[in-house]
């Protein structure tokens, strides 16, 4: 199909599946700024305003939220999408969390593979759909010590990663068989204002503010890159406007840090003693050591580059938490699994 190009996204009808996710809220905010008509779908009720970036100020676009579980309310999702007739479908949904995927792997496979294949089989029949943007993960490659290009062989090592690898392969088959208009976007770790509180960056900031002990699994030796929510949104918009159907793009800053270094940077910025904050805990099962994605393709073909410096992003996230600390402390600070 070549490149899907649009000089203006204003008024474009877009569905965001996984609207309650951090990246979902970030891209919804950007789409509404651009004047898009957006339907957000998530299995849980719309989140507290502290997480809904698109509710922090008025925007010109129109937004409607639909609570619906892809496993249990497929007909509602199908009917909503068919009635709305989107041009763009952004998929950010799925069972998350790596360590927990070992506890009930079938749940990850049912949600991230079986339910998604059923969805794709419905969407391929919609003539209105011009782009399905699949947000994937570098964990499909497994742990690597070298920069990973988009052609790197898939080598997942957890049920979570297996489920993402499988649905990516299924979408590739749909693209070949039906010309299904999929583009794959694989991202470094997200962070920024509005992120789920159990993630390492907001958790560390909250624990610094409340003087709690932070468990650092495996001593924080794992290596990751962190991409700010606004850079996630700009990456998705760049992919929509300039990406090529059937292609894979990587989005990551060029700096890679150990989790220990991330926590240390936060404690320095917040004037907290690292040794008093951190408590070393056993590492999680089968956790990959590092994901190092090469982003030259996205930079060259899409003209994308991250704009937010990590230290500035940490400071912004800390300010968001401080300004909303009363609300945040009344919310769960740990991951709650939903079947």
Contacts (Cβ under 8 Å, ≥6 apart) of 120: 132, 170, 171, 174, 180
The three-point CA angle 251-227-254 to 5° equals 65
Q: How far apart (Å, rounded) are the C-alpha atoms in residues 216 and 258?
A: 11
Please report, for the domain that includes residue 136, its CATH number. Answer: 3.40.50.720
For residues 219 and 106, membership in a common domain is answered with no
Domain count, the chain: 2
For residues 263 and 131, state if they share a domain: no
Cα–Cα distance between 149 and 141 in angstroms, integer?
A: 10
Based on the domain organization, do 140 and 264 belong to the same domain? no
- Report the chain (339 residues): mean pLDDT per 10 consecutive residues: 53 94 96 95 95 93 95 95 97 84 90 96 96 95 88 92 96 98 97 96 97 92 95 97 97 95 96 96 75 95 96 97 96 77
Q: Residue 171: name the closest of 95, 223, 258, 112 by CA.
A: 112
Residue 11: its pLDDT value, please?
75
Q: Tell me, what's the pLDDT at 5?
A: 44
Residue 7: per-residue pLDDT: 46
Q: Give the residue numbers spanning the domain of 216.
A: 197-224+256-288+309-327
Task: Please report whether residue 332 resides in a domain.
Answer: no
122 with 98, same domain: the answer is: yes
Question: Is 201 found in the same domain as 98?
Answer: no
Work out the number of other CB atoms within 10 angstroms of the CB of residue 78: 16
Side-chain-side CA neighbours of residue 330 (13 Å): 5
**Shared domain check, 141 and 205:** no
Encoded tokens for 104: 């009930």
Same domain, 86 and 215: no
The reply to whether 62 falls in a domain is: yes
Q: Has residue 91 been placed in a domain? A: yes
Rounded Cα distance, 181 and 183, in Å? 7
Q: Are 326 and 213 in contact (CB under 8 A)?
A: no
Sign of CA dihedral 62, 234, 223, 108: positive
How many CB atoms lie under 10 A from the CB of residue 157?
16
Same-domain check for residues 100 and 244: yes
**Statement to judge: residues 162 and 237 lie in one domain:** yes
Q: Where are the alpha helices (DSSP H) in 34-124?
A: 74-84, 105-109, 115-123
* pTM for the model: 0.94
Q: Which two tokens stand for residue 201?
A: 């960056």
Residue 333, pLDDT score: 85
């Amino acid at each position: 199909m070549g490149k899907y190009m649009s000089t203006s996204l204003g008024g474009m009808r877009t569905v965001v599946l996984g609207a309650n996710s951090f990246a979902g809220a970030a891209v919804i905010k950007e789409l509404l700024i651009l004047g898009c008509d957006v339907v957000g779908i998530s299995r849980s009720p719309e989140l507290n305003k502290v997480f809904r970036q698109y509710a922090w100020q008025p925007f010109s676009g129109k937004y409607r939220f639909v609570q619906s579980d892809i496993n249990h309310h497929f007909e509602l999702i199908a009917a909503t999408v068919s009635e709305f007739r989107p041009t763009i479908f952004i998929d950010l949904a799925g069972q998350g969390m790596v360590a927990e995927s070992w506890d009930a792997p079938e749940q990850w496979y049912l949600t991230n593979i079986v339910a998604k294949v059923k969805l794709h089989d419905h969407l391929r029949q919609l003539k209105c759909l011009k782009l399905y943007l699949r947000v994937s993960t570098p964990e499909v490659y497994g742990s690597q010590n070298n920069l990973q290009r988009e052609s790197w062989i898939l080598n997942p090592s957890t049920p979570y990663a297996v489920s993402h690898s499988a649905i990516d392969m299924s979408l590739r088959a749909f693209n070949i068989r039906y010309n299904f208009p999929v583009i794959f976007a694989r991202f470094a770790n997200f962070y920024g204002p509005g992120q789920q509180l159990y993630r390492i960056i907001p958790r560390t900031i909250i624990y610094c503010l409340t003087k709690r002990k932070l468990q650092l699994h495996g001593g924080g030796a794992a290596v990751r890159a962190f991409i700010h929510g606004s850079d996630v949104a700009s990456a998705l918009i760049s992919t929509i406007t300039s990406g090529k159907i059937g292609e894979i793009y990587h989005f990551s800053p060029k700096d890679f840090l150990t989790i220990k270094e991330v926590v240390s940077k936060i404690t320095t910025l917040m004037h907290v003693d690292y040794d008093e904050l951190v408590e070393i805990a056993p590492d999680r099962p089968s956790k990959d050591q590092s994901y190092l994605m090469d982003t030259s393709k996205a930079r060259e073909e899409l003209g994308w580059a991250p704009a937010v410096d990590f230290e500035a992003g940490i400071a912004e996230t800390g300010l968001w938490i401080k300004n909303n600390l009363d609300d945040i402390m009344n919310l769960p600070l740990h991951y709650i699994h939903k079947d």
